[in-house]
């Protein structure tokens, strides 16, 4: 399945390249965790001086995971083993968005969004 990602800009200069779209194919049996690994492998999310950028992965307005520059793995709101097929039921293309939370503590962001 084709996965299309966009992300929020991190600086005014970064706005020039908005909406920062990337597309890649993954098997329909790939998981939400596989998507986050692919994003990390592609170095899609900008790194921030100081090493503490926080991102939230969203489908529509539903948070799926928090990704922090200082973490090796994402922290998931839903089952990290949720397949793409189930995540994007009957959709031809999977659309995801990464919201930028600057240098906010990712644990606090996760706790706030989980409630």
Q: b or e along 34-71 (b: 16 or more beta carbons within 10 Å of the residue's beta carbon)?
A: bbbebbeeeeebeebeeebbbbbbbbeeebbbbbbbee
pLDDT of residue 9: 76
Copy the structure tokens of residue 6. 């966009």
With a cut of 50, list the residues of the chain below it in pLDDT.
Answer: none
pLDDT of residue 16: 57
Q: Which residue has the tokens 């999977």?
A: 94
């Amino acid at each position: 399945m084709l996965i299309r990602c966009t992300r929020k800009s991190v600086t005014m200069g970064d706005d020039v390249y908005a909406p920062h779209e990337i597309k890649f194919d993954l098997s329909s049996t790939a998981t939400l965790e596989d998507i986050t690994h692919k994003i990390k492998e592609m170095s899609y999310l900008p790194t921030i001086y100081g090493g503490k950028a926080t991102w939230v992965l969203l489908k529509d307005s539903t948070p799926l995971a928090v990704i922090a520059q200082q973490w090796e793995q994402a922290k998931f709101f839903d089952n990290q083993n949720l397949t793409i097929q189930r995540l994007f039921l009957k959709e031809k293309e999977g659309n995801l968005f990464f919201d930028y939370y600057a240098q906010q503590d990712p644990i606090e962001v996760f706790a706030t969004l989980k409630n």
